[in-house]
Structure 1
Amino acid sequence: MTKIRHASLNDLEKLSEVESLCFPPAEAAGRQSIERRLKVFPNHFWLLFECDETGNERELISFINGLVTSRKDLTDEMYDNPLLHEEKGDWQMIFGVDTNPAFQHRGFASKVMEQVISDAKDQGRKGIVLTCKKKLRTFYEKFGFVSEGVSDSTHGGVVWLQMRLIF
């Protein structure tokens, strides 16, 4: 059994651990960065847990996080400056889609993404923006994201595509 919920500061260690398993050091958000985000926009972290039969959380499997802004494009400064978050902004940005490698390719990231999309629609956003590596483009296209080409982002020294889902 699984459940999805929003984050709190109590989730910091688990989030940091999964983030470090999912991304190389140059790309991963550090513990302090995650903590700063949690202090400003914990309700824009979606965490999927494996639970026992009574609903008690066993393990963090997957999570998605990102701030909300009226800016149209995802910029590198957004990753480390949570004060750019605008709760009533037009666009839900996604900084990371993290799934513990032991649980990958089993639909967990898709389940969390479906929740993020549903919540962003319910909140009246114009859509969702993320960046991804070319090899993940088709994964995001399954949800309706469209590639806008190479992003201006140089985060982690990697070439990123900017993807947008418009509601």
Structure 2
Amino acid sequence: MNIKYATAEDITAVAEVEAECFPPAEAATEEEFIERIRYYGNHFWLMYEAEKLIAFVDGFVTDEEDLTDEMYEKAEMHNEKGAWQMIFGVNTLPAYRRNGYAGELIRRAIHDAKQQGRKGLVLTCKEKLVSYYAKFGFLDEGVSEKSTHGNAEWHQMRLAFDNRKLTK
């Protein structure tokens, strides 16, 4: 498997994977990915098997401590010098799930954020995935008051680098 950062050439494939992984109310559109990749393509971790995109993790960097719905919509809010790496999506095509690919991408995002001197990472997830992200060191901060993206209930989770040992 090959992991790389996103470029304009990846936009269609990224949008297709997203559409397979999230319901329409929660999935980003191709137009949104055009902006996201333009502003922070180096914060997309893409996993390819040969020429096929099978999984990706993406999100921007900010000094804001909490993930908000506005962040999904406004790629220009990205601040390359920000303290926190936000994770907007963890996507794996259904046929490739349960092989550890998402975990590999999450560990890579954690590693990169640590190497870049960030305070840590923040993501939101549905309750059924809280225990999954906890395996990587994320702590559940409860139901988010700042994100109701797609009219869903999201738990905000944070991995702060203070006193944590990360494995690669």
Whether TM exceeds 0.5 here: the answer is yes
Identity of aligned residues (%): 53
C-alpha separation in 1, matches of 2:131 and 2:99: 16
What secondary structure does 1:79 align onto?
A: helix
Query: Structure 1 runs of 4+ off > 4 angstroms?
Result: none
For residue 36 of structure 1, give the secondary structure of its aligned residue in structure 2.
helix
Gaps of 5+ in 2: 162-168
1:38 corresponds in structure 2 to: 37
- Using the size of structure 2 for normalisation, the TM-score is 0.94
Residue aligned with 2:103, SS:
helix
Q: Which amino acid aligns with 1:32?
A: E
One-letter code aligned to 2:6: A
Normalised to the residue count of structure 1, the TM-score between the two structures is 0.95
Distance (whole Å) between structure 2 residues aligned to residue 63 and residue 135 of structure 1: 20
How many residues matched?
A: 160
The match for 2:108 among 107, 111, 115 is 115
Q: 1:121-154 CA deviation, whole Å, 9 max, x = no partner?
A: 0000000000000000111000000000001211
- Which of 135, 151, 158 lines up with 2:152 in the alignment? 158
The answer on 1:15 being equivalent to 2:8 is no
Partner of 1:142: 135
2:72 counterpart of 1:79 = yes
Task: Describe the superposition over 1:38-97 as per-residue Cα deviations: whole angstroms up to 9, x where unpaired.
Answer: 11000000001113xxxxxx2111100001000000000000101110000000000000
Distance 1:59 1:110 in 2: 18
Whole-Å Cα distance in 2 between the matches of residues 16 and 28 of structure 1?
9
Match of 2:54, SS state, is strand
Of residues 91, 102, 105 in structure 1, which corresponds to 2:84?
91
**Offset at 1:3?**
1.1
**Amino acid in the other structure paired with 2:155:** L
Separation in 1, partners of 2:151, 2:64: 23
Local SS of the residue matching 2:131: helix
Equivalent-residue separation in structure 2 for 1:31 and 1:4 (angstroms): 21
Q: What code does the residue aligned with 1:103 have?
A: Y
Residue 54 of structure 1: aligned partner: none
